[in-house]
Amino acid sequence: MTIAQVLSAVQLGLLYGILAVGLYIPFRILDIADMSVQGTFTMGMIIAAVFSYDRMPFLGIIVAILGGAICGVITGILHTKFNIPSILSGILTMTAIYTVNLIIASGKANISLIGKDTIYTIADKMIGNDQITKTIVTLLIVVLMTTLISVFFHTRTGLTIRATGDNAAMVRHTSINTDNMKMIGLGLGNAMAALSGALISQYNLFADVNSGTGILVVALAAIIIGETLFRRNGVTLGLISTVVGSIIYRFIIAIALKFDVLPSYALNLISTIIVIIALMVPAIKETRDRQAKKRLHLELANKYLNNNNNVLTTTDKSISDKKNISDKENISEKENMSDKKNMSDKKNISDQLLDKKSGGKNE
């Protein structure tokens, strides 16, 4: 791979890392399967493209974030206030967003930003190198957003959202409105997804209403790869591992395309295979660990049984020795008693003979 290809993989990994973070919040923190992320990602692309087309790229990013947050809150309302299952709420919102995107784009299916100002072209005027500009700008945005989200989830509200995801019933018993916490979490996650879409549209100088197809698999792959490598140890490490997982995923895609493992139109299939493999690795590790523990338990059980057998053998031998000694003592006592009895009988006989002799003399 050339330096340009490596930088491109890093840049795309960071950009899609923001999307993965957006999915990580409802998926891992709130324990909600949020399908609306796919729709808000595309919405972010369209909104940013429309504003960038009118030479307002920074305002476009801000509006895209707000639009994504509103869609996330709508998903939360459908789920919490109307008791619609979370996955169905996300699908309904995602389906509605498709039409909203077409309305925002004035009925156009795609928007080209070639020759228009974006945050990258504006920054490139100061730096003068396109690849370095894209890498630095994207890295700064990812670091900033990851830090802000990590800090937020260590505040009182953030901790309450985390507690809601862990045990909503317990949080409700403390008189906290868990519905509001879920809506805030879903709004934040979809805002991050919209930010990712907005940056990618300005990065590619292109936006399409169908760009979100299969994007959930990409985000899920980043989360799973990150967790496979770093495990789930807290929110901060979870966010960082998700971004790192996204970068690794882009490198895998780049290598697969470079060596023609599969054609370029098979990206969704490649993504699916990567997710399956990433999900299989923890299961295989768990199975191996379980088998190792089983073997260890069997070894300990056998060792314990052998020790018990040795103890029983030693005990039986000791009891047998004691019994032999006891038998010998009994025999010795019986012999002594027999000797004493014989001596007593002899003495009695002797006394009787003496008495007879003394009686004869007296006569």
Q: DSSP string of 222-240?
A: HHHHHHHHH----HHHHHH
8 Å CB contact between 120 and 202: yes
pLDDT at position 362: 47
Q: Would you call 208 helix, strand, or coil by DSSP?
A: strand
**Annotated domain spans of the chain:** 3-261
**Mean pLDDT value across residues 264-270:** 76
Average pLDDT over residues 39-54: 95
pTM, two decimals, is 0.80
Cβ proximity of 224 and 230 under 8 Å: no
Cα 18 from Cα 222, distance rounded (Å): 10
Per DSSP, the three-state class of 156 is: helix
- Look at residue 276 in the predicted model and tell me its pLDDT: 85
Q: Find the length of the chain.
A: 363
**Which CATH number fits the domain 3-261, given the four candidates 1.10.3470, 1.10.10, 2.30.29, 1.20.120?**
1.10.3470
306-350: per-residue pLDDT in tens? 776 666 676 656 666 666 666 666 666 666 666 666 666 656 666
User: Which of left, alpha, beta for 260 (phi over 0: left; psi -120 to 50: alpha)?
Assistant: left
Q: What is the CA 314 to chain-centroid distance, rounded?
A: 52
Cα separation, 305 vs 127, in Å, equals 74
pLDDT in tens, 78-94: 999 999 999 999 999 99
Q: How confident is the model at residue 265 (pLDDT cuts 50, 70, 90)?
A: confident
Cβ count near 338 (within 10 Å): 10
**pLDDT for res 315:** 64
Strand partners, 112: 206
